[in-house]
Structure 1
Amino acid sequence: MKLALAQIDMRLGDIEGICGRIEDQARLAHERGARVLCVPAPLFMGTLPGGLVGAADFEHDMLAGLTGVAERIQELDMICIVPAAVSFEGQPLLDYMMLKDGHVVPARSSIALQRGGNGDARWAPPVFDVDGVRIAVIFDLDRELEMLPTGVDLIVYFQFNAFDMTDRETAAIAAVRSGAYRKIASKRSVWFACMAPVGAYDESVYTGGSFVLDDCGRVVAQAPCFEESLLVQEIQRGVMLDALEDHELPEFRSEEWLWQALVLAVRDNARARGTSRAVVALEGDLPSSLLAALAVDALGPRNVIGLVLGRNRIFTPAQEEAEAARCAAVRAIAERLHIRTVERDAPDAAPVLDRDVSAGDAERLRSRTLGLMLEDTALELGAMALSPLSKTEYALAAPALCGGYQGDYAPFGDVYLSTLEFVARVRNRTSAVVPQELVTLNAVEDCMERVLARALSTLDGPVDMLDRAAQLLGGLEPGEVDGTLESHVDRNRPFDDIPMAAGKPEACSLLLMLVRQGEAARRQLPTAPIVSARSFVERAWPYMLAWSDLGLSGKERMTVDALARAEVNRFADEDTSERMRGEMMGLLGDLLGISPEQMEELRSEDGQRRLHEGMKKFEGEVQDAIEKMMGGQGGPQGGPQGTPMPQPPVDPRQFPFFSQN
Structure 2
Amino acid sequence: MKLALAQIDMRLGDIEGTCARIADQAELAARAGANLLCAPVPLFGGMQPTTLVDYPNYENDLVGGLADVARRVEHLGVDCLVPAVVAIEQTPFVEAFLLREGRVLPLRTMFSLRTGRFDVGVWEPAVFDVAGSRVAAVFDLERDMPQLPRGCDVAIYFQMSGFNAYNEETCAVAGVADGHFTEVASQNGVWLACMAPVGAFDETVYTGGSFVMDDSGRVVACSPCFEEDLLIQEVSRGVIVPALDAHELPRFFREEWIWEALRLHVRDTVQASGRARAALALEGDLPSSLLAVLAVDALGPRNVVGVAFERSDVFTPQQEAQERERMECVRQLAANLNIRLVERSQGDISRWMDRDVPARDAGRLRIGIDALYLADVAHEMDACMLSSLTKTDAALAPAAALSSGASLAVDAPFGDVYLTSLEFLARYRMRVSSVLPPSVVTLEAVAERMGLILAHAIMSCREDPVYTERMAQLLATLEPTQIDGALEAHVDRNRVLEELPLYKTSPEGAAILLMLTRRAEMARRALPMIPAVSPRSFGERIWPAMLSWSDLGRHGEEPRTVVDVAREGVKHVESLGEAHSERVRGEILGLLGNLLGLSPEQQEELMSEEGQQRMRENMERFESSLRSMLNSASDGQVPDADAQQAFGSHIRQYPFFSQN
TM-score of the aligned structures, taking structure 2 as reference length: 0.88
SS of structure 1 residue aligned to 2:431: helix
Q: Which residue of 2 aligns with 1:53?
A: 53
Instruction: After TM superposition, give the deviation of residue 173 of structure 1 in Å.
Output: 0.7
Q: Which residue of 1 aligns with 2:565?
A: 563
Instruction: After TM superposition, give the deviation of residue 502 of structure 1 in Å.
Output: 2.1
Aligned counterparts of 1:136 and 1:578: Cα–Cα separation in 2: 61
Aligned counterparts of 1:432 and 1:106: Cα–Cα separation in 2: 52
Q: Which residue of 2 aligns with 1:7?
A: 7
Aligned counterparts of 2:214 and 2:606: Cα–Cα separation in 1: 81
Aligned counterparts of 2:451 and 2:199: Cα–Cα separation in 1: 35
Q: CA 1:322 to 1:118, structure 2 compared with 1: closer, same or farther past 3 Å?
A: same
Q: How does 1:450-469 map to 2 (within 5 A)?
A: 450-469=452-471
Give the total of aligned pairs.
608
Root-mean-square deviation over aligned CA pairs: 2.4
Q: CA 1:614 to 1:285, structure 2 compared with 1: closer, same or farther past 3 Å?
A: farther
Q: Which residue of 2 aligns with 1:129?
A: 129
Q: How does 1:130-169 map to 2 (within 5 A)?
A: 130-169=130-169
One-letter amino acid of the counterpart of residue 340, structure 2:
R
Structure 1, unpaired ranges of 5+? 586-598, 624-654
Q: Answer yes or no: is 1:69 the counterpart of 2:50.
A: no
Aligned counterparts of 2:300 and 2:281: Cα–Cα separation in 1: 17
Aligned counterparts of 1:268 and 1:278: Cα–Cα separation in 2: 12
Instruction: After TM superposition, give the deviation of residue 344 of structure 1 in Å.
Output: 1.2
One-letter amino acid of the counterpart of residue 148, structure 2:
L
Q: Deviations over 1:443-466 (max 9, x none)?
A: 100110110011111112333221
Aligned counterparts of 2:550 and 2:114: Cα–Cα separation in 1: 51
> Among 406, 412, 417, which residue is 1:415 paired with?
417
Q: Which residue of 1 aligns with 2:238?
A: 238
- Which piece of structure 1 moves more, 113-122 or 284-293? 113-122
Aligned counterparts of 1:575 and 1:414: Cα–Cα separation in 2: 55
Aligned counterparts of 2:63 and 2:500: Cα–Cα separation in 1: 49
The 8 Å contact of residues 495 and 550 in structure 1, kept in 2 or not, is answered as yes
Aligned counterparts of 1:659 and 1:139: Cα–Cα separation in 2: 66
Q: Which residue of 1 aligns with 2:495?
A: 493
Q: Answer yes or no: is 1:306 the counterpart of 2:306.
A: yes
Instruction: After TM superposition, give the deviation of residue 116 of structure 1 in Å.
Output: 2.0
Q: Answer yes or no: is 1:484 the counterpart of 2:486.
A: yes
Q: Answer yes or no: is 1:618 the counterpart of 2:596.
A: no
The 8 Å contact of residues 5 and 230 in structure 2, kept in 1 or not, is answered as yes
Instruction: After TM superposition, give the deviation of residue 370 of structure 1 in Å.
Output: 1.5
The 8 Å contact of residues 26 and 37 in structure 1, kept in 2 or not, is answered as yes
Q: Deviations over 1:586-615 (max 9, x none)?
A: xxxxxxxxxxxxx9xx45xxx97x789999
Instruction: After TM superposition, give the deviation of residue 408 of structure 1 in Å.
Output: 2.6
Q: Which residue of 2 aligns with 1:252?
A: 252
Instruction: After TM superposition, give the deviation of residue 551 of structure 1 in Å.
Output: 1.3
Q: Deviations over 1:333-353 (max 9, x none)?
A: 001000011111112112334
SS of structure 1 residue aligned to 2:544: coil
Q: Answer yes or no: is 1:525 the counterpart of 2:527.
A: yes
- Which piece of structure 1 moves more, 28-37 or 129-138? 129-138
SS of structure 1 residue aligned to 2:504: helix
Q: Which residue of 1 aligns with 2:175?
A: 175
Q: How does 1:28-427 map to 2 (within 5 A)?
A: 28-117=28-117, 120=120, 123-354=123-354, 356-403=356-403, 405-406=405-406, 407-427=409-429
Q: Deviations over 1:168-207 (max 9, x none)?
A: 1111111001110000111111100000000000111000
TM-score of the aligned structures, taking structure 1 as reference length: 0.88
Aligned counterparts of 1:494 and 1:470: Cα–Cα separation in 2: 23
Identical columns (%) = 50
The 8 Å contact of residues 111 and 121 in structure 2, kept in 1 or not, is answered as no
Q: Deviations over 1:55-90 (max 9, x none)?
A: 110110111111011011101121101111112123
Q: Which residue of 2 aligns with 1:650?
A: none
Q: CA 1:399 to 1:615, structure 2 compared with 1: closer, same or farther past 3 Å?
A: farther
> Among 550, 553, 556, which residue is 1:554 paired with?
556
Q: CA 1:615 to 1:428, structure 2 compared with 1: closer, same or farther past 3 Å?
A: farther
Q: Which residue of 1 aligns with 2:628?
A: none
Instruction: After TM superposition, give the deviation of residue 517 of structure 1 in Å.
Output: 0.5
Instruction: After TM superposition, give the deviation of residue 114 of structure 1 in Å.
Output: 1.1
Q: CA 1:75 to 1:320, structure 2 compared with 1: closer, same or farther past 3 Å?
A: same
Structure 2, unpaired ranges of 5+? 612-660
- Which piece of structure 1 moves more, 41-50 or 113-122? 113-122
The 8 Å contact of residues 619 and 658 in structure 1, kept in 2 or not, is answered as no
Instruction: After TM superposition, give the deviation of residue 283 of structure 1 in Å.
Output: 0.8
Aligned counterparts of 1:338 and 1:380: Cα–Cα separation in 2: 20
Instruction: After TM superposition, give the deviation of residue 564 of structure 1 in Å.
Output: 2.9
One-letter amino acid of the counterpart of residue 350, structure 2:
A
SS of structure 1 residue aligned to 2:318: helix
The 8 Å contact of residues 423 and 442 in structure 2, kept in 1 or not, is answered as yes
SS of structure 2 residue aligned to 1:259: helix
Q: Which residue of 1 aligns with 2:629?
A: none
Q: CA 1:330 to 1:96, structure 2 compared with 1: closer, same or farther past 3 Å?
A: same
SS of structure 1 residue aligned to 2:436: coil
One-letter amino acid of the counterpart of residue 418, structure 2:
Y
